[in-house]
Amino acid sequence: MKNMIEKFKGLTVSKKIQIIAAMIFTIALLVTIPVYAWFTNQKKAAEMFKVEYPNALYINAAHREDQVNLALDGINVNEYQLNADGTIKTVNDTPVKITEERYVFSVSGSNTNQFILQMAHTNNNLFTYKIYAATEQTTEPESGTYVEYKATGEHTENTMVFTGDTVSKDDVLYYVKGDEVSGGYLNMGSGASVANSGTSDTHYYKTYGDNTNVESHAVPSYWQATINADQGANKQFCKYFILEVTWNNTVQATQTAKETDLVYFSVTRKS
């Protein structure tokens, strides 16, 4: 160290300045690089947090209103279609039964490119469940299949606001049936009337474990579909769906004495 000091003293002024400048630059690098790296990592982390944060999704009644129970227990398989004058509709003098009911629900959220819509239902009744895309109208359609809905004005669960949203309590809305949603059952074969049973089925085992004494019609059937959110400019979206429940017109009166089916919906963000 003493020799280094003596050599330094013997240098010219310009050489001393160069050495001091080099030392200062080196020290500055040792301090700057870790600080820069820290700020860079923080920025990347913030960007990842912003992109990947799982924004809330909502399942609501029509027009994003507070969820209502879909009253499947109100289905009457012995009810008949009516003419405009209130008389029972007939074909070849045979009364025509009602064989379908439709219910509207919505899925909305923000910053979501795709979501997975899931439906689970039991199979106590001889019902077929299908989900269709729907579009909302404020005037009654001149053609097509649609569901009429009276607004409740309740949005305590979902407070999202969309431009031009002026629907108030008791306003009547119309939801026009579109294409069937392209999904499929995870544990129910094509044409089957009950879900797969037995511990060899993954979904059955996750629900019931080693219990093999579950009545087959009570085992839930699991259906799901991946759906594009089609976000607007503000990254928000709201998509409407119609659950269509149908049954064969030969279902007997004893069908109404059976247990009501349970139908559940869930939604999860995919990307």
Element (H, E) at 266: strand 263-269
Distance CA 79, CA 96 (A): 9
Q: What's the gap between Cα 225 and its chain centre?
A: 9
Q: Decide which of 124 and 73 is more confident.
A: 124
Give the pLDDT confidence of 60-104 residue by residue, as tens digits: 999 999 976 666 666 777 888 888 888 889 888 888 888 899 999
Distance CA 249, CA 263 (A): 22
Write the Ramachandran bin of 64: left for phi over 0, alpha for psi from -120 to 50, otherwise beta. left
Give the pLDDT confidence of 10-66 residue by residue, as tens digits: 656 566 566 565 565 555 555 555 545 555 555 555 555 444 444 678 999 999 999
Element (H, E) at 146: strand 146-150
Assess contact for 236 and 230: CB atoms under 8 A.
Answer: no
Output the pTM of the full model: 0.75
Instruction: Kindly report the average pLDDT of the chain as a whole number.
Output: 81
- Kindly state the tokens that stand for 68: 């209502």
Assess contact for 102 and 177: CB atoms under 8 A.
Answer: yes
Is 80 exceeded by the pLDDT of residue 2? no
User: According to the model, what pLDDT value does residue 50 have?
Assistant: 47
The label of the residue with tokens 């607004």 reads: 151
Distance CA 138, CA 74 (A): 27
Which is nearest to 99 in space by CA: 83, 123, 78, 73?
78
Write the Ramachandran bin of 25: left for phi over 0, alpha for psi from -120 to 50, otherwise beta. alpha
Give the pLDDT confidence of 147-187 residue by residue, as tens digits: 999 999 888 888 888 877 888 899 999 999 999 999 999 99
User: According to the model, what pLDDT value does residue 244 have?
Assistant: 95
**Where are the chain's structural domains?**
2-51, 56-269
Rg (CA), the chain: 32
Is 60 exceeded by the pLDDT of residue 250? yes
Assess contact for 267 and 107: CB atoms under 8 A.
Answer: yes
User: According to the model, what pLDDT value does residue 53 have?
Assistant: 46
- Kindly state the tokens that stand for 100: 């379908």
